[in-house]
Structure 1
């Protein structure tokens, strides 16, 4: 499939233009190396947490673009870590979400960029490089897929909802709790699936293709998608209705959906222990 250029999107700010330029370059790296992974490493010796040369190359392409344009901005990135966190503006970058999928030629992968001001996301740009989907939002201006406005599902009934439930399998405790949530949801929402790839699945929520997504994740993974889903009329929070914060790096159970289903699923999850 030919690549989709970010030039079809018309951002309202220089921040947005640079985010899209960086996204384009990072996505090009991912597309180039898809199906050709040679060097896979386990982060901290954990075989369930993988990183490849493509993660690093995509990150370099993104950060080089951002730091040239805004040398005084801070950065919080998946592989490089944190720098300039005292700055008013901080870029949050996941250069390849779904690395394990990437190493297995499973196309549920994404590139994610957010710009925050004083801890609040103001610009979000996310690409699914292999399907040429570019999601973009600036706070207060709506959410777009390849320049076309999008909205979350208007499904009102959990019984009729298409639900995606995933869990963090790197520890037995998270895996057990995730299975409990999946089992409980399956009794009230028969159209339930496990679709691996947090950001990829969340883009489906923003488009209204998935009614509910609940999974274990961290702030870095959802900094961009939280704004895109909010601008698309939905909500993305933890199970208590709180937004994820940059200074909290722990793994957290999130729920993303339209406001009605969001409330119902949060209440259901909180009853499971």
Structure 2
């Protein structure tokens, strides 16, 4: 098998190709977009999602095959689920792919959408790529080798989260659309009140590794973030010096069969991570007690 450095180069090249496809859809005449938008249970799907998904899978599978690697993709998982049920892919090495993270932001033209490509080994990410097309940037990481941001000319800069460590000074990056009542109440009582609204989870984590924010919280309700939402951003954050865990401090696991990451999740620059998780768990407990 190719080493992780070679696999990262392949994934980054594929991500740049996916960026070009997304921008070809995004740059269409806004009055006559050919997006073929379909509303589904977990959110909208467009022709851009489908086209980029096919491109990424075709590229990776043509280069790497299907023997050593499994492929867990947002746009193909439903068919896999119908055939196999909630059963994890059998390969130890699994590509986890979100062809368009932030579809609603893509449709609403906020510019805050991303492509996620991660490679997990035995349920944990070892390689990650997040492309932010409108910024013409690719964020990437290999386990134990740091995180970097690559520009279109191929130049790369190493990433490091901020060192801010006073709770009141921390900035929390939040969603514009995926905010239920429990999350709004949690954010209202949270010690970090400096808020920055950003779309895609990949773009949110990019703001943290670029030191423009420090904290992100995901809280499941009727639905939960999926493996493909989190695997790539998680590794990029942790390799830049941050942390990404459940509220109880436990690590996320991927390719478990159930792709939903239930419960409370917190990403941060790491400086006050345990305290923030404790605050989130306590506040959420108070909120839930009040709802009974």
- TM-score class, shorter-chain normalisation, is 0.7 to 0.9
* CA drift at 1:256: 0.9
User: Given the alignment, which residue of 50, 54, 58 partners 2:44?
Assistant: 50
Contact 1:113 1:124 in 2 (8 A): yes
In structure 2, relative to structure 1, the CA distance for the partners of 1:167 and 1:31 (3 Å cut) is closer
User: Given the alignment, which residue of 254, 279, 282 partners 1:268?
Assistant: 279
Structure 2 counterpart of 1:158: 167
* CA drift at 1:245: 1.7
Q: Secondary structure at the match of 1:205?
A: helix
Contact 1:114 1:223 in 2 (8 A): yes
> Does residue 1:13 correspond to 2:5, yes or no?
yes
In structure 2, relative to structure 1, the CA distance for the partners of 1:153 and 1:24 (3 Å cut) is same
User: Given the alignment, which residue of 142, 145, 151 partners 1:141?
Assistant: 145
Could you list the per-position Cα deviations for residues 74-118 of structure 1 after superposition, in whole angstroms to 9, with x for gaps in the alignment? 000010115981112110000000001111111010001001122
Q: Secondary structure at the match of 1:124?
A: strand
Contact 2:176 2:198 in 1 (8 A): no
Contact 1:167 1:215 in 2 (8 A): no
Per mean C-alpha deviation after superposition, the further-off stretch among 99-108 and 245-254 is 245-254
Structure 1 counterpart of 2:260: 250
Contact 2:118 2:128 in 1 (8 A): yes
Could you list the per-position Cα deviations for residues 31-54 of structure 1 after superposition, in whole angstroms to 9, with x for gaps in the alignment? 1111434310012xx3x6100000
Superposition pairs of residues 184-223 of structure 1, within 5 angstroms: 184-185=189-190, 188-216=191-219, 217-223=225-231
In structure 2, relative to structure 1, the CA distance for the partners of 1:195 and 1:213 (3 Å cut) is same
> Does residue 1:178 correspond to 2:174, yes or no?
no
* CA drift at 1:196: 2.8
Contact 2:161 2:211 in 1 (8 A): yes
CA distance in 2, matches of 1:167, 1:148: 29
Superposition pairs of residues 219-238 of structure 1, within 5 angstroms: 219-238=227-246
Relative to the length of structure 1, the TM-score reads 0.87
Structure 1 counterpart of 2:222: none
Structure 2 counterpart of 1:8: none
CA distance in 1, matches of 2:24, 2:89: 32
- Backbone CA RMSD of aligned residues: 2.0
Relative to the length of structure 2, the TM-score reads 0.81
Contact 2:96 2:117 in 1 (8 A): yes
5+ residue gaps, structure 1, are 1-10
Contact 1:139 1:231 in 2 (8 A): yes
